[in-house]
């Protein structure tokens, strides 16, 4: 090792603990931490103000954590390649490490940056840090190796047997002392956002995870689909900005499973939670091995299947006024909080693709304007999966009946009432029949002026879609 420092460019890995990239950079020299505010970052932040507020808070928590270690974040605005070359020249750094992105646009930007830095004589290290288990590791465990997995079940069979690395030893990472100038940290107001994203310090997130593992995780199997409960971990934004590592979440969950006093249902719940975490890694490896799938269906045969780009009820879906309470509550939860309950996401996405027949890309891009999470590879993977054009998870389109789902998972309407205020005073029994002939009358009695009538007949729309889908697949 020489005395020359090695740059670590932070992106979606805003922490210092259990950090694969920092540890790799530290193997080549003292680490110089840099954050570049480039056009791509500005565009992602400007797109969703809540995302911007979160990122700004996470960056400032990262800077604090670095200062506690005698370092600080060097912030620069401009083009990544130009800035990193400049910082390397000014500091004598020999190279730059950063965390790999998996969405097509991110992966291409990584490739371009790598070539530009290498052309300038710098070493470029792109490190897997986002997944708990790197795509090549699961692929290598497959007899035929190659392009990873397109189906979740065989992927999970392998994933669950693999060890998860830890990059925890803080002594491995030494930061460089520097007098290089930094621009100020970004402010939420730069992106039309107001500040105030709370609990983004790694410590708070970790405490939240520990509370979850001690409590709700033990009932995850029954609670994960009930949107009125705090039954899921609410980790996606934290994982997407790397405030906590997926590795540490998986390790903590596996450790929890070692508790000999767990009941068998509790053990089963923890295993299902692990399956959810594996799902994240699965979609990341899918994007890693199929980088063109950002805007094209992964399934070749489905590329010619056309969804509509619009529908007379598209704006109602966007606004949460479709007349289907669960779908509307989900969309309004997203607008109000920047997050939507995972099961409601599946129902609301299915409604767009099948009841309205609208393209999954329209839905994905709409949600992107509100979500805090910044994980385009996961958004694409999930939307393609729901639309039946992506990972080989199901034989048939995943059509949910939004009213049946509501009756099953929100029977007393607690979730719907939280977001659909027009229904707060309407007895749930009156919603239940809302789509039957006499039910429409009963809902009309209570909410005629306030809450809209259903924009489509679900059964009719779903049957029509299925007929078209079958004709296409069999034709």
Ligand X SMILES: Cc1cc2nc3c(=O)[nH]c(=O)nc-3n(C[C@H](O)[C@H](O)[C@H](O)COP(=O)(O)OP(=O)(O)OC[C@H]3O[C@@H](n4cnc5c(N)ncnc54)[C@H](O)[C@@H]3O)c2cc1C
β-strand partners of 8? 33, 97
Q: How far apart are CA 220 and CA 269, in angstroms?
A: 5
Per DSSP bridges, beta strands 74-77 and 31-37 are parallel
Nearer to ligand X, 183 or 265 (CB): 265
Instruction: List phi, psi (to 5°) of 288.
Output: -65, -45
- The residue within the footprint of ligand X, chosen from 75, 88, 239, 270 (CB under 6 A), is 239
H or E element, residue 98 = strand 95-99
- The residue within the footprint of ligand X, chosen from 113, 213, 334, 378 (CB under 6 A), is 378
Q: Give me the residue label for tokens 């420092």.
A: 5
Q: Judged by CB under 6 A, does residue 379 bind ligand X? A: yes
Q: Compute the C-alpha angle 77/81/82, nearest 5°.
A: 65
Rounded to the nearest whole angstrom, what is the least distance from the CB of residue 379 to ligand X in the complex? 3
Nearer to ligand X, 8 or 383 (CB): 383
Q: Judged by CB under 6 A, does residue 382 bind ligand X? A: yes
Q: Judged by CB under 6 A, does residue 240 bind ligand X? A: yes
Q: How far apart are CA 280 and CA 106, in angstroms?
A: 17
H or E element, residue 139 = helix 135-140
Select from 124-132, 150-158, 272-280, 413-421 the region that touches ligand X (CB under 6 A). 272-280
Rounded to the nearest whole angstrom, what is the least distance from the CB of residue 51 to ligand X in the complex? 11
For the beta carbon of residue 107, count every other beta carbon within 10 angstroms. 18
Q: Are 455 and 322 in contact (CB under 8 A)?
A: yes
Select from 160-168, 304-312, 378-386, 445-453 the region that touches ligand X (CB under 6 A). 378-386
Select from 37-45, 257-265, 308-316, 375-383 the region that touches ligand X (CB under 6 A). 375-383
Nearer to ligand X, 293 or 423 (CB): 293
Q: How far apart are CA 376 and CA 362, in angstroms?
A: 14
Number of residues that bind ligand X (CB under 6 A): 26
Rounded to the nearest whole angstrom, what is the least distance from the CB of residue 400 to ligand X in the complex? 10
Name the 3-class secondary structure at 76. strand
Rounded to the nearest whole angstrom, what is the least distance from the CB of residue 124 to ligand X in the complex? 27
Nearer to ligand X, 9 or 238 (CB): 238
In the 8-state DSSP scheme, what is residue 117? Answer: H
CA distance readout (Å), 163 to 25, 251, 326, 329: 23, 9, 39, 40
Nearer to ligand X, 4 or 221 (CB): 221
Rounded to the nearest whole angstrom, what is the least distance from the CB of residue 223 to ligand X in the complex? 9
Q: How far apart are CA 316 and CA 387, in angstroms?
A: 20
Which residues in 385-424 contact ligand X (CB under 6 A)?
386
Which tokens go with 158? 């392998």
Q: Judged by CB under 6 A, does residue 52 bind ligand X? A: no
Q: What share of the chain is helix, strand, coil (3-state, %, to 5)?
A: 55, 5, 40
Q: Sketch the per residue contact string, 334 through 363, with ligand X: x for CB under 6 A, - otherwise.
A: -----x--x--xx--x--------------
Nearer to ligand X, 76 or 341 (CB): 341
- The residue within the footprint of ligand X, chosen from 31, 53, 224, 326 (CB under 6 A), is 224
Which residues in 282-341 contact ligand X (CB under 6 A)?
283, 339
For the beta carbon of residue 418, count every other beta carbon within 10 angstroms. 16
Task: State the residues that interact with ligand X by CB under 6 A.
Answer: 224, 232-236, 239-240, 276-277, 279-280, 283, 339, 342, 345-346, 349, 371, 373, 375, 378-379, 382-383, 386
């Amino acid at each position: 090792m020489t005395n020359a420092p090695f740059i670590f460019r932070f992106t979606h890995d805003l922490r210092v603990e259990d950090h694969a990239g920092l540890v790799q950079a530290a193997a080549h020299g003292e680490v110089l931490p840099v954050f570049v505010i480039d056009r791509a970052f500005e565009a992602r932040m400007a797109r969703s103000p809540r995302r911007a507020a979160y990122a700004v808070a996470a960056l400032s928590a990262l800077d604090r954590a670095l200062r506690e270690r005698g370092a600080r974040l060097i912030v620069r605005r401009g083009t990544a390649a130009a800035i990193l070359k400049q910082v390397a020249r000014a500091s004598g750094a020999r190279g730059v490490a950063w965390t790999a992105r998996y969405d097509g646009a991110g992966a291409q930007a990584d490739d371009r940056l790598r070539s530009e830095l290498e052309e300038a004589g710098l070493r470029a290290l792109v490190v897997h840090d986002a997944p708990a288990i790197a795509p090549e590791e699961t692929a290598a465990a497959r007899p035929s190796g190659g392009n990873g997995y397109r189906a979740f079940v065989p992927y999970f069979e392998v994933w669950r047997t693999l060890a998860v690395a830890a990059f925890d030893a803080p002594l491995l990472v030494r930061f460089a002392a520097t007098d290089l100038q930094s621009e100020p940290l970004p402010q939420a107001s730069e992106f039309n956002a107001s500040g105030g994203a709370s609990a983004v310090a790694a410590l708070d997130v970790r405490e939240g995870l520990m509370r979850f593992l001690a409590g709700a995780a033990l009932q995850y199997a029954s609670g994960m689909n009930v949107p009125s409960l705090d039954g899921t971990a609410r980790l996606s934004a934290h994982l997407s900005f790397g405030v906590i590592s997926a590795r540490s979440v998986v390790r903590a969950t596996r450790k929890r499973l070692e508790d000999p006093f767990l009941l068998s249902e509790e053990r089963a719940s923890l295993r299902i939670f692990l399956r959810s975490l594996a799902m994240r890694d699965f979609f990341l490896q899918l994007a890693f091995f199929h980088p063109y799938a950002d805007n094209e269906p992964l399934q070749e045969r489905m590329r010619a299947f056309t969804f509509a780009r619009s529908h007379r009820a598209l704006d109602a879906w966007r606004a949460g006024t479709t007349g289907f309470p669960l779908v509307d509550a989900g969309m309004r939860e997203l607008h109000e909080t920047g997050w939507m309950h995972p099961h409601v996401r599946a129902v609301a996405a299915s409604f767009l693709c099948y009841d309205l027949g609208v393209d999954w890309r329209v839905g994905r891009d709409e949600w992107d304007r509100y979500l805090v999470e910044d994980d385009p590879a996961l958004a694409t993977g999930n939307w393609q999966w729901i639309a039946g054009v992506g990972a080989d998870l199901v034989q048939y389109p995943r059509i949910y009946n939004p009213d049946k789902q509501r009756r099953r998972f929100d029977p007393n309407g607690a979730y719907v009432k939280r977001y659909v205020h027009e229904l707060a005073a309407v007895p749930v029994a009156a919603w239940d029949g809302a789509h039957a002939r006499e039910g429409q009358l009963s809902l009309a009695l209570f909410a005629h002026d306030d809450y809209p009538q259903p924009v489509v007949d679900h059964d009719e729309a779903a049957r029509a879609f299925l007929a078209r889908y079958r004709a296409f697949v069999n034709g």
